[in-house]
Chain A
Amino acid sequence: MTEDLFESYKNELPAKLISDLKKEISKHKLSSKQIKEIVEKTKKEFEEAKINSGEAIGIITAESFGEPSTQMTLNVFHFAGVAEVNVTLGLPRLIEIFDARKLPSTPSMEIYLKKPYNKDNKKVRKIANQIKETTLKEVVSEFTTNLLKSQVEITFEKEKMRDIGITPKSLITILETSLKGTIVKEKGSTLILKPKTKDYKLNDLYKLKEKAKDVFISGVKKITHVLPVKTDSEYMILCAGSNLKEVLKLDEIDTTRTVTNDLFETQSVLGIEAARQAIITEAQKVIEEQGLNVNIRHIMTVADVMTSRGVIKGITRSGISGEKSSVLARASFETPMKHLVNASLTGEVDYLNSIIENIMLNQPVPIGTGLPDLVAKMKIAKAKK
């Protein structure tokens, strides 16, 4: 009965509102007449709360960010909580998002795991270790250059090797492929690196040692730190550094929830709609963390403006503002000479469609109350002779 009622309102009320209603109604014992009344009232309120045509919503959105951003802290890093990965927050992060910088100053990822893995602390730790980018020096306790035998000797830590799931054998193959022209041999708990060619200088041996230190042996590249964290119901992994494409390839990962804070990476891996969502969540994260309250509709507007062209465009002179069709609007923002010179060459025409041009010319702006035009039907009186 109630279901039918809601079904009939499906096209008139947004889904969120209907589900809110259902939830609220289920809390109380109500007669169907009352329910009907509630839904009717909700519909009335919804209709009344709809936005007016001509509303200058762009300015309102800009104001809604501009005003609270004066209250944000400049403190770049976030240390709250006992253990968390440092991320840029506050005003610098907000600027970073709206600028659409190609690389965030602190790339990071939130990795969620699939069902059997996400409950067990040990398994999560193991996966985390496997994801982390590991170089040779991290599993090695000692590097020695043996000048006598002209070779580099490496003593590795078995425990750490086990943590990241690498056997000495696989290590040898990794080293052989990445250090070309080197013979790798195992000798007890040490590895021996020896250049293949006979004529080498001592200097080369030293170089080899340094090179060997930074050989990438396991994990996902660019992921520099991993941190398994317990949330309410499960374990997940926070990491510094971001490489969404590679991480999504892993079997244990819950691909539906794993996210990165790198907007352009999101765009190239998951597409523009995902990038839009990423802008919304990232901006919202900043605003909430600062204890501010900006409605999500404003964030959505900015995100939509930034992504409506199919690629992420920043709110900069080279992004949105620089691509406006009006010469005067562009010139009034930044680098006016450049825009005027180019406009004169191409013979650009400014049709004065937007706000700033009309302000410049002291004309009514086509927005809000300036939007409607009145057309009067006039009976042309015949001129009396």
Chain B
Amino acid sequence: MEYVYKKVHSITFGLLSPKDIKKMSSAKIVTPELYDKEGYPVDGGLMDIRLGVIDPGLRCKVCGGKLKECTGHFGYIELARPVVHINYAKVILAFLRSTCRECSRLLIPQEKIDEYHQELERLIVKNKLNAWKKKVKEIIEAVKNTKKCPHCEAKQIKVVIDKPTTFLEDDKRLSPIEIRTRFEKIPDVDVELFGLHKDMARPEWMILNILLIPPVTMRPSITLETGERSEDDLTHKLGDIVRINQRLFENINAGAPEIIIEDLWDLLQYHITTYFDNTSTQIPPARHRGGQTLKTLSERIKSKEGRFRHNLAGKRVNFSARTVISPDPKIKFNEVGIPQSVALDLTIPERVTEWNIKLLKELMKRGPKVYPGANYVIRPDGKKKKITEETVEQLIEELECGFIVERHLRDGDVSIFNRQPSLHRMSIMCHKIRILPGRSFRLNPSVCNPYNADFDGDEMNLHIPQTEEARAEAEILMEVQTQMITPKNGLNVIGCVEDAVSGNYLLTKDLNLSREDATTLLLSIGITNIPDISENVTGKEVFSALLPNDFDFIGNSKGCGNSGNCKDCDQWKNKKCVDDSYVLIKKGKLLSGIIDKNTIGEDNGALIRALCANYSEDEAIGILGNIFRLGIATLLKVGFTTKLSDSDLPESIYLKIKELIKESERKVQKSIDLYKENKLDALPSKTLEETLEIKILEILNKVRNQVGEIISEIVSEDNPTIIMIKSGSAANILNLTQMAACVGQQALRGKRIEKGYSDRTLSLFKKKDLSPKARGFIENGYKNGLDPVEFFFGAMTGRDSLMDTALRTPKSGYLYRRLANALQDLKIEYDGTLRDAYKTIIQFGYGDDGLDVSKTENGVINVEKIVKNVMGGKHD
């Protein structure tokens, strides 16, 4: 491998002059033929080997390079007659309109020209590029309609463009030759006022009399299975151009009538126009024989699949893998389980030293097919050798310090893991490799949230960094523990999920264990320094065993009736928190409170943030991992499942709920009656109909909430579904209500369902029936089953939300792309200001106070916590 240790300083854009083209070309193309009878490229043809080689075995005539060594060289063809460059047609028109047709001077008096010059100069000096562009536009706009040349007094005729490339002066056609001669006479000073750079662009260069031919490597042909060659679209197009050009030459030399020459000239113009841009609307696009349009130069650059976005802004990589993901709660958060089959193909280059030579030789001995082995050896001179059964002996013999061995992945190697769409930086994180049996990537369910992954068939990508620098950067900047708190709002994206939450909830609520059980539990999750515990231990004590001894924390559980506001809490006055929701940890001991979603969950886990703030990233994620496994181990011990009978209701309650629904239906009917009698008072700026709808919706939404309340009152504390709801690990009381009793009103676009037939939703209802049933109220629960009408309404809202998602994704994707593109070069400078790439100050201090959101708690510095901390957790 050859490295180039150079950096591009800048790129200058400009037009190529005919002189430049000849200078940079290594061949003149004269014949449309591509290959001779032997299939060897014809000299002076479009596949001339002076333009580069695409066949293995051939050598470039210019640089002597073989395939892949020679990047190709340009060529040119001399056009028999000049033609207009389509992309510059607009500029050519502007020049024609604002220069004199006799003397080719700009149609402004000399004094004015000097004045404008000074003005433009000033703007350039001040580096006001946008203002400069505007001024140039102004100048051109102003000259357009001058009737007489101020320099030679010649009368001017208005030039119009007959799109795409024909220019008319008083209905007389201006040939490109005429245009070119006019342009050649325009002095540099005048050209500059058009905004053209005097060295980089001359107007006559926009009329082509010589055409640059791109290297063969840019338009490689592919050999089909039949052995037939299929040329690239560009080669096809260039072939057409050369052919017509040759015919034009012949006809001119033979003195053919003007009309034939004109026709050929137009054809040449057409071919060159479509060579540059085959999508312009004014001309029919050039096609393949099959009718498929050719992809020419512009189309290669443009759009998502074009050169810019497809090949330059995004690149293909090696050393990557992609497969289905599945969960594994036993591995660490910052690990990824990969199948052995992947580990056999992905390698890490390891430099041979005297300390690892023995190990590497062993790996080489096992070869590429046995894990753990090695695939390649790279000698210091850059030669890469594949390890095979035949070569292995010799390669081991040769191996010395300084060689590089590409060995298989093994546990602990650094990898980068990614799931698309990569919407935020937590979508690409660094994980440590863990080789596991099976054929899927394994990840801890807790890191699903940052990736937004689930296991319904999602696939993810894995990359293996190949250099020490890349590995170090990945580990320091991207590893999972460094990404626990999102810069979006300063909350944690990683926390305990699902069973881990329910488990810890059960453990810290009122679980009592024997010493034996507690020790087994702790040992099963890998805790070995078990504290002295008495014969009977509470779950809180077991939980405390995971916490560091100097950890203090005050927080609230999800079940707190007063949403964490202890000071105004009645219960607190009696020094007793009835629902045990005052979480107090002192010196690593959980003294009171239940651990649940509010303390260890995603997004709002106060305890996790406290851990992150007080300990190193590695320690914090270690403790969190232990908490996670403890939760699961607890559930394994006590046993936990959810079942159909969770949503069983006693007969009396069931009747009560039915009565409640009936009651509200009566209320709705009452409102409808009022409306029909015209006795309803309209709400301000609403019609009577709207008022009625609002009222009904209010009643119906209220009833579902009431049903929910009834259910949450009667269900027992140890109902598994309720445990999940209360701990916050899954579901909410609404889900249970919908299963057990009543699904409730189906809303479409914030209203009751009113679409369908005229004045009714379904043909089985009477017209203008406003009753709950006829407008999408579902009074049954899922368990009892819906009737057909209700099911249909449920499907309606379901479809609506599906459509919403489908329509939203591209919109928000485009918004994101625009934002990313506009903001990508903003960064914090060393002086603390926020500036763009050109050092324009956007903010004098980032966010007014210079705080990093990911280092704060929900965007603020938690003063309350500091005060409590200083007071030593005392409650006054």
User: A-side interface residues toward B, CB under 8 Å?
Assistant: 14, 16-17, 20-21, 24-25, 27-30, 34, 37-38, 41-42, 45-46, 48-70, 72-75, 77-80, 82-83, 85, 91, 94-95, 98, 225-228, 293-298, 300-302, 304-305, 308, 315-316, 319-321, 323-329, 331-333, 336-337, 340-341, 343-357, 359-361, 363, 366-369, 371
16 contacts across the A-B interface (CB closer than 8 A): A20-B861, A27-B567, A55-B852, A60-B425, A62-B823, A63-B425, A65-B819, A69-B816, A293-B858, A304-B834, A315-B819, A321-B818, A336-B306, A344-B13, A347-B13, A367-B827
CB atoms of B685 and A302 under 8 A apart:
no
- B825-876 interface with A by 8 A CB criterion: 825-830, 832, 834, 836-838, 840-843, 846-853, 855-856, 858-861, 863-864, 866-867, 869-871, 876
With contacts A42-B866, A49-B852, A295-B859 taken as known, whether A82 is within 8 angstroms of B819 at the C-beta atoms is: no
Scoring B301, B425, B488, B808 by chain A CB atoms within 10 A of each residue's CB, the highest score goes to B488
With contacts A66-B819, A67-B424, A345-B195 taken as known, whether A82 is within 8 angstroms of B825 at the C-beta atoms is: no
User: B-side interface residues toward A, CB under 8 Å?
Assistant: 7-15, 87-88, 91, 129-130, 194-197, 199-201, 277, 298, 301-302, 306, 308-309, 312-313, 421, 423-425, 473, 477, 487-491, 567, 683-686, 694, 698, 749-751, 804, 807-809, 811-813, 815-816, 818-830, 832, 834, 836-838, 840-843, 846-853, 855-856, 858-861, 863-864, 866-867, 869-871, 876
Please name all residues of chain A whose beta carbon is closer than 8 Å to the beta carbon of B302 when the two chains form the complex.
336-337
Please name all residues of chain A whose beta carbon is closer than 8 Å to the beta carbon of B197 when the two chains form the complex.
345-347
Nearest residue, chain A, Cβ from B818 = A315
Closest A-B pairs by Cβ, 5 of them? A347-B197, A58-B826, A347-B200, A66-B816, A297-B847
With contacts A69-B812, A345-B201 taken as known, whether A30 is within 8 angstroms of B308 at the C-beta atoms is: no
CB distance from B685 to the nearest CB of A (A): 5
Please name all residues of chain B whose beta carbon is closer than 8 Å to the beta carbon of A53 when the two chains form the complex.
828-830, 832
CB atoms of A341 and B14 under 8 A apart:
no
CB atoms of A305 and B842 under 8 A apart:
yes
Q: Determine the distance from Cα of A21 to Cα of B869 in the docked complex, in whole angstroms.
A: 14
CB atoms of A345 and B823 under 8 A apart:
no
Please name all residues of chain A whose beta carbon is closer than 8 Å to the beta carbon of B825 when the two chains form the complex.
58, 324, 329, 353-355, 367
With contacts A74-B807, A293-B488, A337-B302 taken as known, whether A79 is within 8 angstroms of B866 at the C-beta atoms is: no
Please name all residues of chain B whose beta carbon is closer than 8 Å to the beta carbon of A332 when the two chains form the complex.
308-309, 312-313, 821
Q: Determine the distance from Cα of A57 to Cα of B850 in the docked complex, in whole angstroms.
A: 12
Please name all residues of chain B whose beta carbon is closer than 8 Å to the beta carbon of A41 when the two chains form the complex.
866, 869-870
CB atoms of A94 and B815 under 8 A apart:
yes
Contacting A308 at CB < 8 Å: which of B10, B195, B201, B842?
Answer: B842
Please name all residues of chain B whose beta carbon is closer than 8 Å to the beta carbon of A298 when the two chains form the complex.
488, 853
CB atoms of A67 and B423 under 8 A apart:
yes
User: When A and B form their complex, what is the total count of cross-chain residue pairs whose Cβ atoms lie within 8 Å?
Assistant: 333
With contacts A56-B827, A352-B11, A360-B313 taken as known, whether A64 is within 8 angstroms of B811 at the C-beta atoms is: no
CB atoms of B871 and A34 under 8 A apart:
yes
Contacting A344 at CB < 8 Å: which of B10, B200, B841, B846?
Answer: B200
CB atoms of B815 and A69 under 8 A apart:
yes
Q: Determine the distance from Cα of A83 to Cα of B691 in the docked complex, in whole angstroms.
A: 9
Q: Determine the distance from Cα of A379 to Cα of B9 in the docked complex, in whole angstroms.
A: 27
CB distance from A307 to the nearest CB of B (A): 10
CB atoms of A59 and B808 under 8 A apart:
no
CB atoms of A58 and B808 under 8 A apart:
no
Scoring B201, B813, B847, B856 by chain A CB atoms within 10 A of each residue's CB, the highest score goes to B847
With contacts A63-B425, A67-B488, A95-B811 taken as known, whether A369 is within 8 angstroms of B685 at the C-beta atoms is: no
Please name all residues of chain B whose beta carbon is closer than 8 Å to the beta carbon of A48 when the two chains form the complex.
855
CB distance from B453 to the nearest CB of A (A): 14
CB distance from A374 to the nearest CB of B (A): 13
Please name all residues of chain A whose beta carbon is closer than 8 Å to the beta carbon of B750 when the two chains form the complex.
75, 77-80
With contacts A56-B827, A351-B10 taken as known, whether A346 is within 8 angstroms of B196 at the C-beta atoms is: yes
CB atoms of B843 and A304 under 8 A apart:
yes
Q: Determine the distance from Cα of A74 to Cα of B829 in the docked complex, in whole angstroms.
A: 38
CB atoms of B818 and A98 under 8 A apart:
yes
CB atoms of B849 and A16 under 8 A apart:
yes
With contacts A295-B488, A350-B13 taken as known, whether A371 is within 8 angstroms of B870 at the C-beta atoms is: no
CB distance from A99 to the nearest CB of B (A): 9
CB atoms of B13 and A348 under 8 A apart:
yes
Q: Determine the distance from Cα of A261 to Cα of B221 in the docked complex, in whole angstroms.
A: 58
Q: Determine the distance from Cα of A196 to Cα of B686 in the docked complex, in whole angstroms.
A: 41
CB distance from B792 to the nearest CB of A (A): 22
Nearest residue, chain B, Cβ from A33 = B870
Please name all residues of chain A whose beta carbon is closer than 8 Å to the beta carbon of B824 when the two chains form the complex.
56, 58-59, 62, 354-356
Please name all residues of chain B whose beta carbon is closer than 8 Å to the beta carbon of A70 when the two chains form the complex.
421, 423, 808-809, 812-813
Q: Determine the distance from Cα of A346 to Cα of B91 in the docked complex, in whole angstroms.
A: 12
Q: Determine the distance from Cα of A347 to Cα of B200 in the docked complex, in whole angstroms.
A: 5
